[in-house]
Amino acid sequence: MEKTLHCKVSGRVHGVAFRYFVLGEATRLNLTGYVRNLPGGQLEIKAQGQDQALDKFLESVRLGPPLARVDQVETAWPSEEQRFEQFEIRR
């Protein structure tokens, strides 16, 4: 079943290639959506795909890339969302 995951990631997530890490993981798991930096120092992610792929993706996000430090990942599973064609980095 296809679902949507919405995350806000806090910690050392800006300037450490986190968005590119997320893009790579989403592409590897065949997910669509986006990742972007938020002004307050957080990272926002919306990802759509199959349950199992989203679970693996969330595990990767909680670890982050080598230079990052993930302090908190807030998650939500919204029921109605727009559909994305690909996964992209938004500015």
Residues with catalytic function: 19, 37
Q: Which of 2, 1, 81 is nearest to 45 (CA)?
A: 81
Local structure of 17: helix, strand or coil: coil
d(CA 27, CA 70): 21
